[in-house]
Structure 1
Amino acid sequence: MSHWFDTITLWLEANPQWLGLSIFVIACLECLAVAGIVIPGTVVLFTLAVLAGSGSLPLWQTLLLAYSGGLLGDAISYALGRRFHQNIRGLPVLRDHPEWLSGAENYFQRYGVVSLLVGRYIGPLRPMLPLVAGMLDMPFVRFALVSLLAAAGWAVAYMLPGWATGAAMRLPLPEGFWSAAGIVAAAIALMLLIVIHSSLREQRGATAISAALSGSLLIGLLIGWPHLDTLDQGLMTLIQEQRGPAMDSLVLLVTGLANFGTQVAAGVLLTLLLLLCRRQAAALFVTCCMLGTALCNTGLKHLLARARPEVLLQPLETYSLPSGHSSAAFALFLALGILAGRGAPARTRLTWLLLACLPALLIALSRVYLGVHWPTDVLAGALLAGCVCAASLALLQRRAPMAPLGARVWWLILPATLALLSGVSLWSLPEAIQQYRY
């Protein structure tokens, strides 16, 4: 397998015109029933993304090809399940490995539609869940809507790191970039490993550990950001290279989701809806997360007084560190992710947090793309929100765990909150186009 993989990689380097098709096909196979378990799709996709980032394909094409391939794999798996139903168990490979199908079936019956979102990031379940959805006659429209959303987050999570790595290797980056990037990446990886380990072992102080680690890393970043200038300059160059009129409008829509007025409206709406549903503890938790993050962010900005990058024609007059958009987005979506995981096993809780971080990460990256924040600004915003959210949860669960919200509550709060965010972002788009000219 290793020799075959090396041969294909070398061939694609010599024939980059086939790279796009390869990304599409491998993404399809990675999400295709049975095939996604057999082939090392994650490793192959990362390698293809590195090749794409080295200059063969722009980022939007790489993400679009992976997204389309993943959707096709989902659709084929669903169609197979819908066509054969229970007879699918008699196929040669599934007959020899019944645990592949039974595990996905149990997960689907336990979590329903949610399993298609969460299971997308759990290797053995990803290719089998669409098959099970078809086998159990899940309505096609519902499956398609969930698949469209799940495949988008999956494409970003699986392709963006590899593409960024390839692009960073291609560009003439400042001296000291890789050492600074290595230190920051190692610190974040160590924090995540400790948090994941303590959560999976169900340690009593796992939430407090998460808050302490996020806070410690944030303090280190706030003290050491002057020494990370090469990292900021290099990443800013990498991301600014992707700017173009077509991408600007989309990025402005994304960044508008975390404008101050939008976040205030979303926070108030979410809190009122939770109070209406008699979920006082959840409402208090959301308030602590969003209000606490906003107050800390404002104080730190004025304390540090870091200047913004000089990219815009009319630079913003406010300070840069930490990023308010980044901290607000992570506070909102992390709060939703934490609430979604209440009462679930540790692996499911962690997966919900991963899902919650994806839209917040896109908003954070949009600030660097627009040239109004340094990369360390958005990282500081994410760490600040993570610290406040974890500390708030630890304080509120001192006596008893927070109760799950229930499906009816989610069907009320989630569509209303997302509709508000999207509506306000669209409404403010013309003003944003004028504000973020470069």
Structure 2
Amino acid sequence: MSAWLDSLTGWLGVHPQWLGLALFVVACVECLAIAGILVPGTVLLFGIAVLAGSGALDLWQTLLLGYTGGLLGDALSYAVGRRFHQNIRRLPVLRHHPEWIGSAEAYFHRYGVVSLLVGRYIGPLRPMLPMVAGMLDMPLGRFIGVSLIAAAGWSVAYLLPGWTTGAAMRLPLPPGFWADAAWVIGGLALVIGLTVHGSLRGRRWATPVTAGLSLLALLALLLGWPYLHELDQGLLTLIQEQRSAGLDRYMVLLTRLGDLRTQVVVGVLLVGLLLATRQWRAGLFAGGALLGTALANGLLKALFARSRPEVLLEPLSSFSLPSGHSSAAFAFFLTLGILAGRGQPVRWRLTWLLLAGLPALAIALSRVYLGVHWPTDIIAGALLAGGFCAVSLSLAQWHTPLAALSQRIWWLILPACLALLGAFALWALPEALQRYAY
């Protein structure tokens, strides 16, 4: 299998004109029922994304091809399920592996629409859930709406790392770039790996250890950022290379979601709604995570006083480390992800955290794209938010775990918070476009 993959990526490297089609087809197959389990699509997607980032395709082209390919795979799987219903079980492959469709059907029955969002990031479930949705007659309009959202996050999560790797290999980066990158990636991998390991093993100390590891990694980054200049400069150059007038508008809209005023108002709304619905411990957890992150971020900025990159015509006056937008966005969305995972199996809780991290990551990356933060600024913000969320969660469930929120409460909280975020971002968009011009 390894030789076959190497020969395919080698052929695509020699014939880059076929790279876009290959990316579209592999993304489609990866999300196609049954085929997505048999074909090593994740490995293929990473290899093709590396080739795309080496200069064959722009980032937006790579993400768009992966997005549309994934949507087509979802649509075909749904159509097959809708056409054949229970007769699908008679297919030779599924007769020999009934657990494939059985596990997907169990997840769909338990979580409904949410299973299509969360299951997108669980390998064996990803290609089977759309077919099960069609088999169980999920309304077409609802399936299309969920699939449009799920495929967007999936394409970013699966293609951005590979594309970034390829682009970094192409550019003339500073001599110490790869050594710095190895240290930072290794540290983050250690924190994430130990967190996942402790959670999967059901250790009671997993959350406090996560808090300690996150804050320890943050301390190391705060002390070591002067030695990571090559990494910061290289990644900033890589991301700035993708700037365009058309993309600027969307990035400014994203960055507005992380503004201090926006995050304060939406944070107060979230905590207020939790307390109003008598979710006392959930409200205390959310308030502690958001307030603790905000106060610590302001203190660290004043303490380290790091200057911003010199990209904007009129640079912002405040200091950059850690990124306030990054810490606020990660604190808010991780809080939602933690609350969404209460009462669910560990794998689902971790998947909810992954989903929650995607919009926060988009907001954080918009700061580097706009040239107002160094990459290590947004990493520090994410570690700060992760650490304080874990601390607040540990205190909130010191004696007993937090209870799951009912669907009625979620239907109150989620639309209200998202609507307020969008309203604030759109209201100040014209002013922000002038502010972040370069």
Does residue 324 of structure 1 match 2:285?
no
Q: Whole-Å Cα distance in 1 between the matches of residues 316 and 351 of structure 2?
A: 36
Higher mean displacement: 3-12 or 372-381: 3-12
Q: In the aligned structure 1, how far is the partner of 2:36 from the partner of 2:397?
A: 39
**Deviation string, structure 1 residues 273-300 (Cα, Å, up to 9, x no partner):** 2122221211111111111100000000
Partner of 1:288: 288
Structure 2 equivalent of residue 278 of structure 1: 278
**Structure 1 residues 5-46: Cα deviation after superposition (integer angstroms, max 9, x where no partner):** 222212211111111111111000000000000000000000
Aligned to 2:165: 165
Letter matched to residue 277 of structure 1: T
Letter in 1 for 2:194: I
Distance in 2 (CA, whole Å) between partners of 1:310 and 1:334 is 31
* Equivalent-residue separation in structure 1 for 2:220 and 2:280 (angstroms): 35
For residue 297 of structure 1, what is the aligned residue in structure 2? 297
Q: Which residue of 2 aligns with 1:238?
A: 238
Could you give the per-residue CA deviations for residues 138-184 of structure 1, whole angstroms, max 9, x where no partner exists? Answer: 11111111111111110000000000000000000001100000011
- Inter-partner Cα distance in structure 1 for 2:271 and 2:384: 21
SS for the counterpart of 2:319 is coil
| In 2, Cα distance between equivalents of 1:390 and 1:5 | 40
- Measure the CA separation in 1 of the matches of 2:22 and 2:266: 41
Q: Which residue of 2 aligns with 1:78?
A: 78
Structure 2 residue aligned with 1:349:
349
Partners in 2 of 1:56 and 1:153 — Cα distance? 23
4+ residue runs over 3 A deviation: none
Looking at structure 2, the residues matched to 186 and 2 of structure 1 have their Cα atoms a distance apart, in angstroms, of 25
SS of residue matched to 1:224: helix
Residue in 2 that maps onto 1:90: 90
What is the match of residue 247 of structure 1?
247
Alignment deviations for residues 288-326 of structure 1 (CA, whole Å, 9 cap, x no partner) = 111110000000000000000000000000000000000
Residues 387-422 of structure 1: CA distance to partner in whole angstroms, max 9, x if unpaired? 000000001111111110011111111111111111
Name the stretch that deviates more: 398-407 or 320-329.
Answer: 398-407
TM-score w.r.t. length of structure 1:
0.99
State the Cα distance separating 1:246 from its structure 2 match: 0.8
**Whole-angstrom distance in 1 between the partners of 2:283 and 2:160:** 34
Aligned equivalents of 1:292, 1:431: Cα separation in 2: 30
What code does the residue aligned with 1:404 have? A
Looking at structure 2, the residues matched to 408 and 136 of structure 1 have their Cα atoms a distance apart, in angstroms, of 24
Distance in 2 (alpha carbons) for counterparts of 1:179 and 1:22: 32
Aligned residue pairs total 438
Question: How far is 1:113 from its partner?
Answer: 1.1
Residue 430 of structure 2 corresponds to 430
Provide the rounded CA distance (Å) in 1 between the counterparts of 2:25 and 2:177.
34
**Structure 1 unaligned regions, length at least 5:** none
Aligned letter for 1:9?
Answer: T
CA shift, 1:196, in A, is 0.4
Q: TM-score, normalised by structure 2?
A: 0.99
Q: Output the amino acid matched with 1:406.
A: S
- Deviations for 1:242-269, whole angstroms, at most 9, x for unmatched residues? 0010110011111111111111111111
CA–CA separation in structure 1 for the residues paired with 2:199 and 2:361: 22
Q: Take 1:348 and 1:146, find their aligned partners in 2: how far apart are those partners? A: 18
Identify the residue that residue 340 of structure 2 maps to in structure 1: 340
Q: Which residue of 2 aligns with 1:29?
A: 29
Q: Secondary structure at the match of 1:372?
A: coil
CA RMSD of aligned residues (A): 0.8
State how far apart, in whole Å, the 1-side matches of 2:407 and 2:138 are. 18
Q: Match of 2:258, SS? A: coil
Partner SS for 2:392: helix
Q: CA deviation at 1:4?
A: 2.4
Do the aligned residues in 1 keep the contact of 2:282 with 2:396 (CA within 8 Å)? Answer: no
Residue of structure 2 equivalent to 1:155 = 155
Q: Which residue of 1 aligns with 2:396?
A: 396
What amino acid is the match of 1:50? Answer: V
